[in-house]
Chain A
Amino acid sequence: MINARRHGDDARREDAAAWVVRLEAGDLGEAEAATFDAWLSAAPANAAAFDAALAVSHAYAAAADEVALALSQRRTAPVRPTNRRALVGFGVMAAAAALAVVVAPEISGPQTETYATAKGERRTVELADGSIVDLNGGARMSVSLGRDGRRVTLAEGQAVFDVAHDARRPFTVAAGDRTIRVVGTQFDVRRLGGKVSVTVARGAVEVRPAGGASGKAYRLHPGQRLDHVEGAAATRVAAAEPAEVLGWRSGRLVYRQQPLSEVIADLNQQFVTPIRVEDAELAATPISGVLVLDDQDAVIRRLALLVPISAVRSDAGVVLRRDVASDR
């Protein structure tokens, strides 16, 4: 265990490096973790020293292959030569072989499979090509895996696509009057209430107008979110935290300045009893916060902590109103 009671900058840097190495080794017990926590909290300079050492460690982890190769090419290298270059050579050969051995898979005409989830149901679907789709509640999707392309239509709802690589069979997702072409691997598509949103977590996707719809095509990168109102030409691209947008898969909805109407649209995919907001101004109120999805009443109670509303229940569902009492 690392001594938590030493002072001085040099000792601090020594402790910081030792903690980074201990943590990266991955076998830290909970008692030692508590000691680590106490060391970090003991002085702001401890945390800063830890961050500095961790940043350097991450820099080497990210460039490990390049640094190892460069070091092995130095004539004065005191360490035995590594076999990195041989490995690189093999990699090139393997790539060439992969290009040469292109065998068309036996697919007997594309069949269309349809998938649907009930309100509040979340489902993971593994497609025949190895791609994985997480469907949020109240979603409808059809999939056609053809010889020359993989086509998915998201008729309604929200889904995260984790796409298996197959350069010869592009993967496209149709959502309303937009088509999303997959260039990379993981992204979220949401089509609800005449609005289409696409958020990329890894890789890249292209979103373009479908079937004669107007507007520009966009290429989205990780951390970008595209919002589009169906029928309109305009499209907005903004920064988004993919982990938050994809949070629904672990039962939580994360919002940053999104209108209440969007929150309600999401909740209505989760619960059978519909929620309505009649006041247009209230519907446009921006919401920021995390909603854990359990039961509808509890979720509405937590929503009321983020925006002053009261809920009125009737046979037709739940109506949210501006809470007059807390208005003044």
Chain B
Amino acid sequence: MSFVPDPKGPPARPTDPLLEIYLERRANLVRFFAARTGSRAIAEDLAQELYVKLATRDPSVTAENPVALIYRVATNVMLDRARGEARAGAREAAWRRVAHASIGGEDVAEDVPADEAVASRQRLRQLVDAVAELPPQMQRAFRTHKLEGRSHAETARIMGISVKSVEKHISAALKALTEKLGR
């Protein structure tokens, strides 16, 4: 019995229209995941996971708007991952709390190389300076949300303004910071 693909049969490229759309938009989806998860590496992995999800779905299910369907599945893939990560995150934090560990009498701590430390101090200064130069309301919204980790709604409550205004302030702040820090 032979498993060689029939030359008239399916080629190596997917013929599934949904997968075609996925492949065209893969870079966009990675950006979507990167913004939602805060990590390029996780984004790449989620894009791969999304592909597997789409490739193994029931092919009889079709959608009127395939792009919207792909983003819906993408959101689900991300939420599934987030549930698993919550546990791993707590574990990671436990490791980070100890500055270094001694295993079997051997110190396994590792220091950041000196030149890297200098570079990251300079980078930190640039980040701090850029925020300090923002107009007061914009700065307060950005600091409360991005640096103190409050949601848009909480930030709105603290500042006594609408959620819509908070979003405007934060995106104006991000635009200004990108112009300042981007080369």
Residues in A lying within 8 Å of B, measured CB to CB: 13-14, 16-26, 28, 30-31, 33-34, 36-38, 40-41, 47, 50-61, 63-68, 70-71, 74, 76-79, 82, 95, 98, 130, 132, 162-165, 167, 170, 181, 183-186, 202-204, 206, 243-244, 247, 250-252, 254, 290, 292, 294, 297, 300-301, 304-305, 309-313, 323, 325-326
What are 24 pairs between A and B in contact, CB < 8 Å? A14-B172, A17-B174, A24-B35, A24-B38, A33-B67, A34-B68, A37-B28, A54-B35, A58-B34, A58-B39, A60-B177, A63-B123, A65-B147, A68-B148, A71-B132, A132-B87, A162-B91, A167-B101, A167-B103, A183-B103, A203-B92, A203-B95, A305-B12, A310-B4
Knowing A23-B36, A47-B27, A50-B31 touch, does A59 contact B98 (C-beta < 8 A)? Answer: no
Knowing A14-B175, A40-B28, A47-B27 touch, does A301 contact B34 (C-beta < 8 A)? Answer: no
Knowing A24-B35, A52-B182, A71-B143 touch, does A311 contact B3 (C-beta < 8 A)? Answer: yes
How many residues of B are in contact with the other chain, CB < 8 A?
74
Q: Cβ of A21 and Cβ of B128 under 8 Å apart?
A: no
A20 interface neighbour in B35, B108, B132, Cβ under 8 Å: B35
Q: For residue A51, which residues in chain B have a CB less than 8 angstroms away from its CB? A: 31
Q: Cβ of A304 and Cβ of B4 under 8 Å apart?
A: yes
Knowing A59-B181, A183-B103 touch, does A325 contact B146 (C-beta < 8 A)? Answer: no
Q: Which 8 A-B pairs have the closest CB atoms?
A: A33-B71, A23-B35, A243-B45, A17-B175, A165-B94, A17-B174, A68-B147, A30-B68
**Chain A residue with minimal CB distance to B29?**
A37
Knowing A59-B127, A67-B147, A250-B49 touch, does A164 contact B91 (C-beta < 8 A)? Answer: yes
B42 to chain A, nearest CB (A): 8
Knowing A23-B32, A297-B3 touch, does A66 contact B124 (C-beta < 8 A)? Answer: yes
A-facing mask of B143-161, CB < 8 A → 1, else 0?
1001111001000000000
Residues in B lying within 8 Å of A, measured CB to CB: 1-5, 12, 25, 27-28, 31-32, 34-36, 38-39, 41, 44-45, 48-49, 51-52, 55-56, 65, 67-69, 71-72, 74-75, 87-88, 91-92, 94-95, 97-98, 101-104, 108, 110, 123-125, 127-128, 131-132, 136, 139-140, 143, 146-149, 152, 167, 170-172, 174-175, 177-179, 181-182
Give Cα A165–Cα B138 distance, bound, in whole angstroms. Answer: 41
Q: For residue A206, which residues in chain B have a CB less than 8 angstroms away from its CB? A: 108
Q: For residue A57, which residues in chain B have a CB less than 8 angstroms away from its CB? A: 35, 146, 174
Q: Cβ of A64 and Cβ of B48 under 8 Å apart?
A: no
A217 to chain B, nearest CB (A): 11
Q: For residue A37, which residues in chain B have a CB less than 8 angstroms away from its CB? A: 25, 28, 32, 67, 71
Give Cα A207–Cα B139 distance, bound, in whole angstroms. Answer: 48
Q: Cβ of B171 and Cβ of A79 under 8 Å apart?
A: no
Q: For residue B172, which residues in chain A have a CB less than 8 angstroms away from its CB? A: 14, 17
Label chain B's interface by main secondary structure.
Answer: helix
B121 to chain A, nearest CB (A): 10
Knowing A162-B91, A167-B101, A292-B56 touch, does A70 contact B3 (C-beta < 8 A)? Answer: no
Q: Cβ of B36 and Cβ of A26 under 8 Å apart?
A: yes
B24 to chain A, nearest CB (A): 8
Q: Cβ of A312 and Cβ of B174 under 8 Å apart?
A: no
Q: Cβ of B171 and Cβ of A14 under 8 Å apart?
A: yes
Q: Cβ of B52 and Cβ of A252 under 8 Å apart?
A: yes
Knowing A64-B147, A74-B132, A185-B95 touch, does A251 contact B52 (C-beta < 8 A)? Answer: yes
